[in-house]
Structure formats: C-alpha cells, structure tokens
C-alpha cells in the first residue's frame, strides 16, 4: 500500500512540473509528426466563478484599477518589437508582450541529467531566437535556467529585445524576493519580463506574501508583468490575489481544442487579464493531432495540423507557447503568420471542445498541496 501511495505522489509531482505551465508541458517532439510542444502549467476542478473562500462573490474590479505601470529600473532597457509577424499583446499595465513564444519545459527528455538538460535547453533557445522567436517561457521548477540564459547569449539577440518569463515554485513563496534575485542570477539577466506564481499550493497567507514580494520587485523595475499559473484550480487563492494592490497581467491555464476553458476565459476577461495557454497541442494526444476536422483544415491551407492548432490559439486571442527541442519543429511552429483561418474553420474547431472532461491535468491543491514543498535543485554546471 505504501509503495502504491508513493508511486502516485511521484506521478502527481511529475505532472505538476509538466503542467507549468507555461507556459508547462513536456513533449518529445520527435514522437509526433509536425511541430511539437513542451509547454507548462496545471489546473483546477473547473471553477469559473469568482467566489471567495467562504463562497461569497468577490467584487469585480474595473480595468482602470488593474493598471499600474512597472517601476523604473533595469526593465527600462526593454525594447520589445514584432518580429516575423508575431503580434504584440498590450497587457493591462500597458506593457507589450509577443503573443507567441517557446515553452522550455523538457525534463522528461533528459532522464534527470541536469547537465544534458541545460545543454538541450541552450540549443533549443538559441535555435528559437534565430528563427525569430522573442518570447521564452521558463520556470525555476524546470531546473534549466542557466541553459536558457546561455542560449540567449549564444543567439546574439540582445536581451532587451526578448520577453523572458520565469515562475516561482511554491516552496519559494516564503522568500520570493530572494528567489527572484536567484532567477536573475541563474539566467544571467538584470530583469524579467514576467514572473508567475507557478501553482496555488500552500496556505493563503504564504501565497499572498509571495505576491507582495513580486509587487516589490515589480515596483523596483526588476519585473515588467506579474502572473498567476493554474490559479483557476483554486478559487480562494485566485480571489486572495485579486484583493492585492497590483492585479495580475496574465493568467496561464491549460487550454487547447479539446479543453477550451470558456468559463475560465470569461473570468479572466472580467478582470482584464490576458490568457496564456499551456498544453496548446493537447499534450500530444493523437486523437487531437489526427482529428479529421483539423486534417481537412490543414489540407486546405497547405499547413500541418499543429500549425492549424497554434493558429487557432492566436486568432482566439490567447498567448501561446508551444515548445520543442527540434530546430525543424521550432521553425515550423512560427510559420503561422502567413495565413488566417476562416470564421467557419474557427467554429469547426470550437465545436471540438469537450469542456472540463477534455483536460489532461487536474489537481486538488488542498489534497495534494504538500507535493510542492520540495525546493527545485539548482544546477551547478558552468557553460562559460
């Protein structure tokens, strides 16, 4: 019995890393035809109402109350522009973010070898930036920030032209400000464009304390935008964040044609928060990638099914971060800005929605929250 429980807990922890969001799923791009993903973040039991911890409705905020520009500081150097046709999304604080990017969560490919993990991340990031990507989705829980940072330097693209996302692991919430400084050191940068609370795990006071540390770094110009990942999984934590001085700019959730998360999207819209999708390719599910509807649309545009799915995300207004370690797939994933899906095609894809039953990651944070107590290891290698 103990062995069974231990196995289940290990599985949940592995899934929680893959659900990174971000961005957060890990998929081997060599196993599925066409471009692939390994994005990040986990989800909820499907709440789409803004109920407080005791069930009372949280008072909606107006867009005006959401807007607070980041403070002056290192982030003032940022110079984000549209490259390769990738649109820029204006967030509720006025900051602009590339709508499309690269998910970098790939531990499942590396069998726990952090040296190999960082080298793979380094090569994937450099390939992506050379292909025109300007948005990278990373997390401290991915264990490869040094590799991502070296990939940025290898690419030759100036740091100020790149949107860099990172995520705090729940075990770091008690000292989030110092954890943010650690992220900067490991990536080798002076500021981050976006920092997420990766999971709504732990007690509410600790989660709120982490958010206040993020607000401090935001006001100091170390962070340009703040986000919550997987908080649709736990509404008391969501509402606690909405009561803070600075509201989130971005909410990262599992979202793909099988799970289109309509109610959660309405919740984000209510608070003027941008939705970013992890598992955008449905965790590589062959039922999705071989769906006749998508194959027919792909044939009509002379594109791959994966390109059709990513294009659907773009036209729905999401930020989308498919991941890959294969340079050919990385290139193919960004080649979606030379065509548009018709209104009829968009409706056909919307009709594929299976609601909450179409999701791949659900977690009860009250029941499994203790799985997030362990701190991610720091890779000790040196790429210099």
What whole-number distance in Å separates Cα of residue 281 and Cα of residue 331? 16
State the pairing for strand pair 88-90/96-98. antiparallel
Examine the residue annotation and report whether 191 is marked as an active-site residue of this protein: no
Two tokens, residue 59: 């008072």
Identified catalytic residue from 142, 218, 279, 365 = 142
Two tokens, residue 327: 């340079």
Where b means 16+ CB within 10 Å and e means fewer, 233-262 reads bbbbbbbbbbeeebbbbbbbbbbbbbbbbe
State the pairing for strand pair 135-137/102-103. parallel
Q: What share of the chain is helix, strand, coil (3-state, %, to 5)?
A: 45, 10, 45
Q: If 0-12 CB within 10 Å is exposed, 13-18 middle and 19+ buried, where does residue 384 land?
A: exposed
Angle at which helix 235-242 crosses helix 204-219, to 10 degrees, equals 40
The vertex-251 CA angle with 245 and 255, nearest 5°, equals 165
- Of 159, 154, 110, 102, the C-alpha closest to 133 is 102
Q: If 0-12 CB within 10 Å is exposed, 13-18 middle and 19+ buried, where does residue 334 land?
A: buried
Two tokens, residue 187: 């990536």
| DSSP per-residue string spanning 261-328 | -HHHHHHHHHTT-EEEEESTTGGG-HHHHT-HHHHHHHHHHT--HHHHHHHHHHHTT-EE--B-S-HH
How many angstroms separate the Cα of 141 from the Cα of each of 72, 197, 233, 280?
28, 11, 19, 20
Q: Which residues are catalytic?
A: 142
């Amino acid at each position: 019995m103990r062995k069974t429980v231990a196995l289940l807990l290990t599985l949940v922890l592995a899934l929680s890393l893959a659900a990174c969001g971000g961005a957060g799923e890990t998929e081997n791009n060599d196993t599925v035809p066409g471009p692939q993903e390994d994005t990040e973040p986990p989800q909820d039991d499907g709440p789409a109402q803004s109920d407080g911890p005791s069930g009372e409705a949280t008072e909606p905020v107006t867009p005006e109350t959401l807007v607070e520009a980041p403070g002056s500081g290192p982030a003032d150097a940022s110079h984000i522009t549209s490259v390769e046709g990738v649109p820029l999304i204006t967030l509720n604080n006025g900051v602009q973010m590339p709508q499309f990017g690269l998910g970098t969560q790939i531990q499942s490919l590396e069998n726990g070898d952090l040296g190999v993990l960082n080298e793979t991340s380094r090569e994937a990031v450099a390939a992506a930036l050379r292909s025109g990507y300007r948005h990278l989705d990373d997390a401290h829980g991915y264990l490869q920030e040094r590799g991502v940072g070296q990939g940025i330097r290898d690419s030759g693209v100036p740091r100020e032209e790149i949107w860099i996302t990172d995520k705090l692991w729940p075990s770091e919430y008690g000292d989030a400000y110092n954890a943010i400084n650690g992220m900067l050191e490991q990536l080798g940068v002076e500021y981050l464009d976006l920092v997420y609370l990766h999971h709504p795990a732990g007690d509410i006071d600790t989660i709120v304390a982490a958010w206040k540390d993020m607000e401090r770094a935001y006001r100091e110009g170390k962070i340009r935008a703040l986000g919550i990942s997987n908080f649709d999984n736990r509404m008391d934590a969501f509402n606690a964040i909405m009561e803070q001085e600075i509201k989130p700019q971005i909410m990262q959730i599992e979202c793909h044609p099988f799970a289109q998360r309509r109610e959660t999207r309405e919740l984000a819209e209510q608070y003027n928060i941008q939705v970013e999708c992890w598992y955008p390719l449905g965790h590589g599910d062959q039922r999705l990638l071989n769906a006749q509807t998508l194959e027919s649309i792909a044939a009509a545009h002379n594109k791959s099914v994966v390109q059709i799915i990513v294009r659907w995300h773009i036209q729905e207004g999401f930020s989308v971060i498919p991941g890959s370690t294969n340079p050919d797939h990385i290139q193919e994933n960004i080649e979606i800005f030379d065509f548009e899906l018709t209104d009829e095609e968009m409706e056909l894809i919307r009709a594929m929605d299976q609601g909450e039953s179409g999701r791949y990651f659900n977690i009860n944070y009250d029941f499994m929250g203790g799985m997030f107590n362990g701190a991610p290891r720091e890779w000790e290698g040196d790429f210099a």
